[in-house]
Each structure stands twice: as structure tokens, then as C-alpha cells.
Chain A
């Protein structure tokens, strides 16, 4: 397979016609280009600030397929390092999380300080200059909305520029209760699905049409209200829905009058908590900003997705493990200042719907796994392109979020597709093309 480059990119993605080559989901060469051009250049989500509350707290995560240590140094600063001893490459940190003011490699006894510099290296003279042998640190690291991001690219724009208007909404979600910010309930779940990372990332970007088919059984069981997807045209009786996107990036999320995961059985304290937040916003502001709590379902390019819904909030990263595999990290996130009862309910509701056992997630995983298998054969990967053309013929004239919600501070645009078009997926692949064509 020839290497993917600008000259053959047109054959792989035709956004105008809404056609996508099957190859981009299964090809090894394209995947390796992605590791360099997407995961090597973009800002990637590492975890929540609250996971490194105090000095010397650390946890492990991945950037692409590289193991990374994230810690808060003794100096209070958050850093991220390649989890590989500079001496002979051994994986330095072999536990998922903990507290340590140094990292010791057991192979030859090298020790690193919490800022990544070498503390000691047995058999080397104290006169030896070890300043070049500190841990490999990410080029940039920053926090937005309580979320830690990092990039290997020293020339990447600052995080807030990379996020663009999305930064406002991440801050908004973090501050919705008080100053306490966000925290994680339990440790993240981790599991693997045999699918290309782009499938779940595009799905959470705005694949509304998969809901009534994929999640039919969860809806039938009564967990959530059926959506009115009876017709692809706008239905005046349907609750208001919106999708927010931004010029210059592919970050996006969608919500509406009925927040994600709303309605149905077993609603508990968390749902009442969301209702109260909305009532508060309705009372305080004479606009429709209340529609933005919770945020809804979305993706921050490339591979951070979330469901901020009526019953819980989950963040997840689709870590690439080859063109046909991902390792999912899924966090259950709650507001620090919410009551213990609300937090506990949020955790349990999250487990019901998402995660390795979640009633919604297991059907998604089944679809994605079988899609991957459906694309992998010699003939299937070369077959006619995939269909990403829903809603393209419609006039999706966007309005500014400021006008739509009635607050001039709000960045971004609101698509009038109402959740039943592929426009969000187009923006995802448009951004993908931008990175891959360089």
C-alpha cells in the first residue's frame, strides 16, 4: 500500500460528495501516518486535574500508543513524560497511579526527580553532566476546564487557541456548580475494542442517526425516551436540539431541551441536580443558556469524547492500538461541589449506560467491532466508498451561538441540521485531512 499523501488523498476522502474510502479505517500505512501527524501534533487529553491533586501524585495514561506518566511535581507543577527510562528504555512506571516524589528504574538504579531530571545514576561520577539525560517531557502541557492536555509538538498553537471556542464551553461545564471543579469517581475503566479510533470519535461527534437502531434495546427497556427521528425533516413538535461547532477546528458537541440520556426509568438524585442547575440558569438569565447545561455529546479532536448528560458525565479517550484496535479509557466525572448522594448516583448511572458494561456502550462496541470486520477483507477495503452524505442537500445555514442562545459571549456556530445530518462527521474528516496532508 503506497504511503498516504496529498496526491492520493482525494481518492480517499470526497467531502463534497460525502464519500469516504474504506481504506482509511483499516490501512496500516495510513495508521502510521496518523501516529505521526495526528497523535504527534494535536493536543491530546491526559486526564483530570483532580487526578493529580497534590504534589507527587501521578497516574499513567497514553498519548497515541505511547505510555506517559502524568504527575504533579514537588514544585506543584503538572508535567507529562514518556514512560521510558533514558538509560536503556525500560518502562519506568509500572503501576497505574500513586504518589511518589521520584521515579526509580529498577534495571540499573537510575532515579529521576519529580520534575524529570536525573537525581542519581549509579556508577556515573558526580561530575558527569546528567542534565541531558532527564525524562523526555511533552513539548507543551496545559489545563482547560479541569482537563489536562498535552502535545509533542513544540510548534502547536497554545491549548486555548487549539480548542478555540470549545475552551469556553469546557470552562463553563467545569464551573457550573462552584469553584470545586471536577473529580473522578473511581479509577478509569479500560477495555479494548477491535475498531479504528476514528469510528468512535466520529460517532460521538454527531452521529445522531445511529441512536434509534443501535440503541433500540436500551430505549425499549425504558432507559431513555425515544427520539423523534420519524422523518428527516424538521418536526415542529420535536424538542429543540442543537449542535455547536467552530470555524477552524473540528471540536463539536450537541445537546438540547432533552439532555442526553434523559427521560425513562431509574432517574435519581443526579437528574434532579441537573434540573436544578437548569432552573437556576433559567431564573438568572433571560436567555436560552440553560440549554447548555449539561453540554451533551461531543468530541474534542482527535480522540477525546464525552457524554455530559441528564444522569452522569463520562469522558473517554479512544487510544489507537493499530488500525483495527483501540484501548478505551473511560472516566466517570462528577462536580466536586455536588452532594455525595448526587456523586454516587452519577457513578452508578454512568456504569449502567456507558463503560465496558454500559447498556449503550456494549451495543456501540458490537457495531464498531463488526464494522471493522466488515471493512477488513481484500475486496471489502477496496469496495465502493462509504456513504457520509446524509443531510448534505439541506441548507444547513448555521447561526451564531450568541444569537441562538441569546448571550453575546458565546462562541461558535449552531447547525440547524437538528442532529440528523452528517455535517459534524464532515468537519471531523476535514480536520483529519488538514493534519494528514501536511
Chain B
């Protein structure tokens, strides 16, 4: 349940600092440290909608095609795999650029913040054609002794067809 939109300058600055730090970690490929921004109870879902008729797409139960549906343990395993010297998709490394635009910050009953953003991520790797991911992100961020942590992430990507071999980008 949401309260009124949260606009305290301090909280807006904290949210912005959280995302700036996260972008730096994801761009530099420091996924192990990125994991420390996530709550141990995190639920992390990346998906896109299936393109259906306009009437059907207004339906809450409109079908989804998932790319990730993770908790902290599964993310740890994926990141462990990425770190292997035999992770062939990670050499050559991808270069990624993360852009976002915060649209709304609301306080939730449980004390978390619900932050809605547009996201835009560019991925380039070797001489592959590259990927451009655009979508909508809805996060629940929780204030802890160690600062804000990600409790829940839902990213709905606009692209319906992933091109260029595979999707090895985290959002």
C-alpha cells in the first residue's frame, strides 16, 4: 500500500546515490560487490510482455516471458559462473552503459521505498552488433544499517525478441 509520494530531498539523494553506485559496479563488472547492494531476501525478476492485442495487454494477467526470476542464491551462482576463467561469454568482456530516469518514489507501508524508473542499457562486445535494452523498472528499496538495499526488482523490457546470441546482462 503506498503513502503519498515521497519527495524529501534527503531520500531522493539517497536513492540517486544508490543507483549511481549500482551503475558503477555493473559497468565495471564488479558483480560480487553488486550483490552486497541486494537484500538476502531479494526477489529479482526481469521479463518482457508478450505482444498481444491492445485489449489483452491491459489485462493484469497478460502473459509474460521471463528472462530472470532470481533470489540471492541463484544470482550468486550465476555470478560465480561469470567469474570462471572458462566463462566463454565473458571473454572478451562486454562494455555496458547504464542510464536511468527516476519517475516516482513512493513510501510503502513496510517502510520500503517503491522507485519507478525508465532504464536504458547499452551492451557492446567485441565486434558483435550489440544490444540496447529499454524498459521500465520498479524497485523496492529498504533502508538498513548498511544503507539502502534492494528488496525487490521487477524490470519489464520493451524488446520482445532478444538478438545477438544471448542475454548476459544484469539489470
Contact = CB atoms under 8 A, between A and B. Distances in A.
Interface of A: 95-98, 186-194, 214, 216-218, 220-223, 265-266, 327, 347-348, 351-352, 355-357, 359, 361-363, 365-367, 369
B92 to A, nearest CB: 11
B32 to A, nearest CB: 13
Given A97-B50, A191-B162, A362-B168, 14 more contacts: A95-B53, A96-B51, A186-B64, A187-B64, A189-B162, A190-B65, A191-B163, A191-B166, A220-B84, A221-B77, A266-B74, A266-B77, A347-B69, A352-B74
Given A96-B52, A351-B66, A192 B88 contact: no
B99 interface: no
B161 interface: yes
Interface of B: 46-47, 50-53, 56, 63-70, 73-74, 77-78, 80-82, 84-89, 160-168
Contacts of B164: 192
Contact of B63 (A186, A190, A359, A365): A186
B81 A218 contact: yes
B159 to A, nearest CB: 10
A253 B78 CA distance: 28
Q: Which of B56, B87, B166 has the most CB of A within 10 A?
A: B166
B89 A351 contact: no
Contacts of B86: 216-217, 220
Contacts of B87: 217, 363
Contacts of A327: 161
Given A95-B52, A216-B86, A351-B68, A356 B167 contact: yes
28 contacts: A97-B50, A186-B65, A187-B63, A187-B65, A189-B162, A190-B65, A191-B165, A193-B165, A218-B81, A220-B84, A221-B84, A222-B80, A266-B77, A327-B161, A351-B66, A351-B67, A351-B69, A352-B74, A356-B67, A356-B167, A359-B81, A361-B166, A362-B166, A363-B87, A366-B88, A366-B89, A366-B165, A369-B165
Contacts of B51: 95-96
Nearest to A358: B166
A27 B53 CA distance: 38
B88 A214 contact: yes
Nearest to A214: B88
B166 A366 contact: yes
A367 B88 contact: yes
Nearest to A362: B166
A357 B165 contact: no
A194 B165 CA distance: 7
Contacts of B65: 186-190
B161 A192 contact: yes
Contacts of B166: 191, 193, 356-357, 361-362, 365-366
Contacts of B63: 97, 186-187
Contacts of B68: 351, 357
A356 B162 contact: yes
A105 to B, nearest CB: 15
B70 to A, nearest CB: 8
A192 B162 contact: yes
Contacts of A217: 81-82, 84-88
Given A98-B56, A266-B73, A352-B77, A216 B84 contact: yes
Given A191-B166, A357-B67, A357-B166, A97 B52 contact: yes
